[in-house]
Amino acid sequence: MAFEALIEERNVSAAARRLNLTQPAVTGALNRLRDYFRDDLLVLHGRKMQPTPKAEDLSGPVRRALLQIRGEITRAGDFTPATSSRHFRIIASDYAYTIGLADLFVRASALAPKVTFEVIPPSSQASERLERAEVDVAITVHPYVNAKYPSMELWRDSDVIISWRDAGYTTITEDIFFEVGHAVSTFGPDRRPSVTDEYIAKMDRERRVEVLLPSFGDLCRGVVGTRRLATMHRRYAEYFARVYPIAIHETWQPFPEIIQIAQWHKVRDSDPGLHWILRLLSEIQA
């Protein structure tokens, strides 16, 4: 794993963060790998480390071996929820957590008291972890589904527009939508837009974004007390309307349906623990 992290990150500090190890520990691992392979593996060019030809030759076989190991580990033996102490890693937005995963975790606390969970926000780095089979499952939306991985539909939703309840809006027309300011959420260090914001960006009008926020859940506070608007998935808006003084408005035209998809690496296809999670999610959404 240290070799994989070092070759892909090309930086000892970044590899240490990825492996949740100290920098000296990763430096020590690199030195041991150099001794074993009798090669520098990574050499400094300017401010960045570059793999040697030997390291490039090794990267493919090492990656394939690690994928096989991860797949075999998850297939080994039966998964018994009542006694398992497995740690599951799930890529999910705050919306997917609130609408689906939060209830799953409640169910799991009774069915599998020793099982633990980790929710990882969506980002390009999180997607790379799915590629390496380092996460158990990713919950994403239909346009972002990777066709090379197994997937399963979880639930569907639609988009609405939210405003402060006292902002004075009755209906939101297209002209109003593009005339006033907006709060918008982006995700990860690469500031990935939501599928809804990508759809709006393709319209032949420019939206005035006044506030960029790191999650869907922050949008309510971004509009309360102002005349700003925000787009939000309906089920999330209805959830927050119980807590915040927000009004929910229909879009002036139908926006694309939101289809939440579970996706996992093919090496985990026979993982009984993964299928337990998928079954619970299906039961919760039924």
pLDDT in tens, 122-152: 887 788 788 888 889 999 998 888 888 899 9
In the predicted model, is pLDDT for residue 163 greater than 90?
yes
Instruction: Give the pLDDT of residue 82.
Output: 94
Tell me the HSE value of 141 on the side-chain side, using a 13 A CA sphere. 19
Q: How far is CA 225 from the centre of its chain?
A: 30
Tokens 């999670």 belong to residue: 277
pLDDT in tens, 2-48: 766 666 667 777 777 766 778 888 788 778 878 877 877 777 776 67
- Among 57-71, 116-130, 223-237, where is mean pLDDT lowest? 57-71
In the predicted model, is pLDDT for residue 70 greater than 70?
no
Instruction: Give the pLDDT of residue 233.
Output: 96
How far apart, in Å, are the Cα atoms of 67 and each of 185, 188, 269? Answer: 33, 25, 12
CA pair distance 164, 184, nearest whole angstrom = 15
In the predicted model, is pLDDT for residue 69 greater than 60?
no
- Name the average pLDDT for the chain: 86
How far apart, in Å, are the Cα atoms of 160 and each of 38, 90, 141, 191, 192? Answer: 60, 27, 17, 22, 20
pLDDT in tens, 255-284: 999 999 999 988 888 889 999 999 999 998
Domains of the chain, earliest start first: 2-75 (1.10.10.10), 87-151+260-285 (3.40.190.10), 159-256 (3.40.190.10)
In the predicted model, is pLDDT for residue 253 greater than 90?
yes
Higher confidence at residue 106 or residue 12? Answer: 106
Prediction pTM value: 0.74
Instruction: Give the pLDDT of residue 19.
Output: 67
pLDDT in tens, 190-200: 788 889 999 99
